[in-house]
Amino acid sequence: MRVGLGYDIHRLVPDRPLRLGGVAIPSPVGLTGHSDGDALLHAICDALLGAAALGDIGDHFPDTDPALAGADSARILAETLDKVRAAGFHLVNLDTTVLAQQPRLGPHKAAIRQRIAQLLGLDPGRVSVKAKSNNALDAVGQGLAIAAHAVVLVEKKRGARTRTTRRTRTIVQRTRSRE
Ligand SMILES: [Zn+2]
């Protein structure tokens, strides 16, 4: 088992669509960023990369890459997941907290959780989405930004080669015990 931690924060500005956890949320303000500014999906990407010790989201998806301008962060998450799986890991569970003073996220938590579970190919029972305001304190509390934290647990997949080796060893032991 290995654990990964992710964090992200984006500035809120007027007249920009708000996307969080891959869900479009009705709001007069949205998150700025090189991509669609989905701070929650970015925090999840960093948690995944962290668990596999593969660096951070900026290493893999630099904000100077013109191909990523306005990109759907669901695509960034899918590519991140591919990298983590290619390194031999599968996900066990994910826990997240979104910090937002505005808009209120309570009514959207269930939809966000479902969407993240779908994007990660996980049972929703293994995905948690919590929301907090920052009690009117700091930039988040003043409605200037939305931040997100994510923690993920991953497990190393047992390789087919290892299983074959074990099976072969068992057969050899059985053969020997008969001799
Ligand atoms: Zn971000």
Strands in 127-132's sheet, in edge-to-edge order, are: 29-31, 2-14, 145-156, 89-99, 127-132
d(CA 77, CA 85): 12
Centre of ligand 1 from the C-alpha of residue 8, in Å: 5
Centre of ligand 1 from the C-alpha of residue 90, in Å: 23
Please check whether residue 117 is in contact with residue 82, taking contact to mean a CB–CB distance below 8 angstroms. Answer: no
Q: Which amino acid, 90?
A: H
pLDDT at 179 over 70: no
d(CA 178, CA 51): 45
Centre of ligand 1 from the C-alpha of residue 46, in Å: 9
Which pLDDT score is estimated for 70? 86
Q: Which amino acid, 94?
A: L
Stated pTM of the model = 0.88
Neighbours of ion ligand 1 (CB under 5 A): 8, 42
pLDDT at 166 over 70: no
Centre of ligand 1 from the C-alpha of residue 168, in Å: 48
Centre of ligand 1 from the C-alpha of residue 95, in Å: 18
Locate tokens 């049972």: which residue? 123
Centre of ligand 1 from the C-alpha of residue 174, in Å: 55
Count helices and strands in the chain by DSSP H and E runs: 6, 7
2-178 maps to CATH 3.40.50.720: no
Question: What confidence tier does 49 reach under pLDDT thresholds 50, 70, 90?
Answer: very high
> How is residue 159 annotated by DSSP?
P
Q: Is the CA virtual torsion 166, 167, 172, 174 positive or negative?
A: positive
Mean pLDDT of the chain, nearest integer:
90
Which pLDDT score is estimated for 124? 97
Question: What confidence tier does 158 reach under pLDDT thresholds 50, 70, 90?
Answer: confident
pLDDT tens digit string along 79-97? 999 999 999 999 999 999 9
Is the pLDDT higher at 161 or at 152?
A: 152
Centre of ligand 1 from the C-alpha of residue 38, in Å: 6
Question: What confidence tier does 161 reach under pLDDT thresholds 50, 70, 90?
Answer: very low
Which pLDDT score is estimated for 174? 53
Which pLDDT score is estimated for 54? 98
Domain residue ranges of the chain, discontinuous segments joined by +:
2-178
Q: Quick one: average pLDDT of 1-13?
A: 97
Backbone phi and psi for residue 37, each to the nearest 5 degrees, phi listed first: 75, 20
Centre of ligand 1 from the C-alpha of residue 103, in Å: 18
Give one DSSP letter per residue of 5-40, joined into a string.
EEEEEEEEEETS-EEETTEEE--SEEE-SSSS--HH
**DSSP H helical segments within the chain, as ranges?**
39-51, 57-60, 73-86, 109-120, 138-141, 160-178
Centre of ligand 1 from the C-alpha of residue 40, in Å: 8
